[in-house]
Amino acid sequence: MTAASTPKSLKDNPILARWISFEVPGKVLIRPGKVELGQGILTALAQIVAEELDLSLGQIEICSADTAVSPDEGITAGSQSIEMSGASLRLVAAHARAELFQTASRRLQAAPEILSCRDGVFFRGVEPVGLDFWTVAADVDWTKAVEGPIAVRAAADYAIVGTSPLRLDLAVKISRGGYIHDIALENMLHARVVRQPFRLARLTNADTAWLSKHYPGVELLCRQDFVALVGPDEFDVQSAQADADAFLTWSEESGRWQPAQTAGEMRAVIRDGEVPLSMTNLALRARYSRGYVAHGSIAPSCGLAFYEHGQLSVWTHSQGIFALRDQIAACLGFDVANVRVVHAHGAGCYGHNGADDAALDAAIIAIDHAGIPVRVQWSRQDELSRAPLGAAMSAEIGAALDAAGSISAWRMSVVSAPHAQRPGFGGHVNLTSAEALDARKLPGRVEDLPDVAGGGASRNAAAIYDFPSHEVCVALDTSSSVRTSSLRSLGAHLNVFAIESAMDELAEIAAADPLEFRLRHLRDQRCRAVLEGAAKISGWPGSRLAAEGQALGIGVARYKNKGAWLAAVAEVTVDEAVRVKRLWLCVDAGLLINPEGARNQVEGGAIQAISWTLKEAISLENDRVPALDWQSYPILRFSDVPQIETRFIVDRGSPPLGAGEASQGPVAAAIANAASRALGVRLRDLPLTRERLIQILTDS
């Protein structure tokens, strides 16, 4: 079998040595540019390489991504790691295998076809020939570029891919640690940054006398509006940070913050409309919304940095070390060649959280402490309140039905805060301390992610259904000063929730079963299959009201309209609160590299979506984010988690698709559809908290 096309990351980094090394006898070192975020990606990538090279998994060693040596594979986001890095590493391994076989056959003066290998040892028939990968690797030119077609193992022959070996990193992490937080460099200084309490807040006073009296071991570092507390003892700096109100004064300077410009409303006619949508004769016109959502990593962000002789090294749990390197260099006036950024494992981030910011924090402080390593850790409150938030959004849907009860025209209008403000995006630094050092670093213009990257606010704004007339408009709303950026699934969460809620509302108007109504408008066969699969395992029909205040709801989407398909059925009870009792998921993510890893991603995404849907939204106070903790920003607990049953539809011949962002939209919709049915009142605004229920019931 020959691989069809070269993935972008391999085109960008074609040299074999960039990806793979046989320098350590018995081991194969691989260097993915994608990073471990808790999604188990390194294990899955190791499986792919072990498969192509006939190695055991234990022979694969993975180097953490490092701007000095690793291939630049962009940001680890958008469920692209298996699709991109996996495809690149498969081709790299196949090329390496071909080179090793050719070299071995030259040495043996035998045709490569009569050789085989196992665990890196060459055989002729059942006899070892006295050569292995490592003895012949010295004769291979690893500076060669990967070019041309190459035979890869046929999916039908996979022995390691498609199984679920133990995670390479999990056991060690539990019993010994191994996160960036756990790195202790010699003579390391601890630091805490006192964040600006709102965007572009001005530091007006710092009472150093108070600080040195109460915390003699803590040094105050002020650069414009950047304030750090630095010292050898972590408890000291942590305590001083908690007391920051006692010695720091902030003020608001009117007009200092200005909203970013945007392109305005972008209108896309998705399909040629045969039936123009009249906004007067609509069967449904409804607006759906969600608030700001925190990434809510369990670990507060952390960064380490070391500066000496003009060279800056930074350790980070960022999703994009290359972009971060470039922006740290730009922000601090370094040549990119003098900045090295190394990935270290962090806790799950679920998108662009405080990781990048913490890295710049550490770099700023390290430059001021040449020759001494610096470790910065954020507080819980800053992690929830000062990291970029998931964007608040709304979507208005208007739809018309024909005489037969099918949708004749559909128009959706999305308004959203920006989803794409990662370091470097839009030509901006996009790091919070960059703005503290220089208020002019505030982004002046913000765009949505382009459709080629899956879109941001526009992600999944186009419904997967076949409507005769279908129009989508997307506009960015930059009127809030709150920093927003990518949170798992970006706009797909609200857009799919809105589309799938409207489909339920329209089904009800058309007096149709919600499943049947969806299938009526759906030609995509794999989408139909996951819908029918979810219906089957859940015992749909959804009209079933098993008990008072209890109902089923359904939702479906194909992530980005080009990724994995997922249908969800939720069984929900509504009494004083909405509770999800059971959840059934049917997924088509193509070939599963590691089925348990895929299940973890799908079910974990679903549980996070239940949390967003039932509990999560940040209420701004005068356009400011209040200092939050887990009491004021509660998330789902063990006792809230439903029983989940997941079924994968697997066609080994279909390319693997990322699974971590497929469930958020369909699960939110399934819950809201079930809760609306159980309650007899339509719920269109997330989250579905107790307070929201009371308000809705009072209004109706």
Partner 1 sequence: MTNRVQCQVNGAEVSFEGRLDEPLLLALRNRLGLKASHFGCGLEQCGACVLSIDGQARYSCALPVSFLDGASIVTPEGLADDPVGRALLEAFDAEHAGQCGYCLSGIVMSAFALLKANGSPTREAVIEALDRHLCRCGAHGGILRAVERAAKGLAEASR
Site residues, partner 1 (CB under 8 A): 37-40, 164, 166-167, 169-171, 173-177, 179, 181-182, 184, 233-235, 238, 296-300, 345-348, 350, 377, 379-380, 596-597, 600-601, 603-608, 629-631, 635-639, 641, 644
Q: Give me 17's structure tokens.
A: 């040595």
CB nearer partner 1, residue 294 or residue 312: 294
Q: Minimum distance between the CB of residue 512 and partner 1, rounded to whole angstroms?
A: 33
CB 535 within 8 Å of CB 645: no
CB nearer partner 1, residue 268 or residue 630: 630
Rounded CA separation 83/43 (Å)? 15
Q: Minimum distance between the CB of residue 346 and partner 1, rounded to whole angstroms?
A: 7
DSSP for residue 403: T
Q: Minimum distance between the CB of residue 504 and partner 1, rounded to whole angstroms?
A: 25
Q: Minimum distance between the CB of residue 344 and partner 1, rounded to whole angstroms?
A: 13
Rounded CA separation 434/441 (Å)? 6
Contacts of 548 (CB under 8 A, 6+ apart): none
Q: Minimum distance between the CB of residue 127 and partner 1, rounded to whole angstroms?
A: 37
Q: Minimum distance between the CB of residue 381 and partner 1, rounded to whole angstroms?
A: 9
CB nearer partner 1, residue 14 or residue 605: 605
Rounded CA separation 445/109 (Å)? 64
CB nearer partner 1, residue 334 or residue 612: 612
CB 506 within 8 Å of CB 401: yes
The CB density around residue 64, as the number of other CB atoms within 10 Å, is 16
* For residue 128, cis peptide bond before it (omega within 30 degrees of 0): no
Provide the greatest CA pair distance for the chain.
Answer: 86
Q: Give me 588's structure tokens.
A: 């088509």
Q: 374-377 and 189-194 as β-strands: parallel, antiparallel, unpaired?
A: parallel
CB nearer partner 1, residue 167 or residue 411: 167
Q: Minimum distance between the CB of residue 641 and partner 1, rounded to whole angstroms?
A: 4
CB nearer partner 1, residue 177 or residue 444: 177
Contacts of 37 (CB under 8 A, 6+ apart): 76, 317, 319, 346, 348, 349
Instruction: Select from 203, 594, 140 the least CA-distant residue to 437.
Output: 203
CB nearer partner 1, residue 395 or residue 644: 644
Q: Minimum distance between the CB of residue 628 and partner 1, rounded to whole angstroms?
A: 11
CB nearer partner 1, residue 233 or residue 253: 233
CB 17 within 8 Å of CB 142: yes
Contacts of 317 (CB under 8 A, 6+ apart): 35, 37, 179, 180, 301, 302, 343, 344, 345, 346, 347, 349, 355
CB 593 within 8 Å of CB 265: no
CB nearer partner 1, residue 538 or residue 646: 646
Residue type, 260: A
CB nearer partner 1, residue 175 or residue 254: 175
Q: Minimum distance between the CB of residue 608 and partner 1, rounded to whole angstroms?
A: 5
Q: Minimum distance between the CB of residue 227 and partner 1, rounded to whole angstroms?
A: 19
Residue type, 567: A
CB 52 within 8 Å of CB 68: no
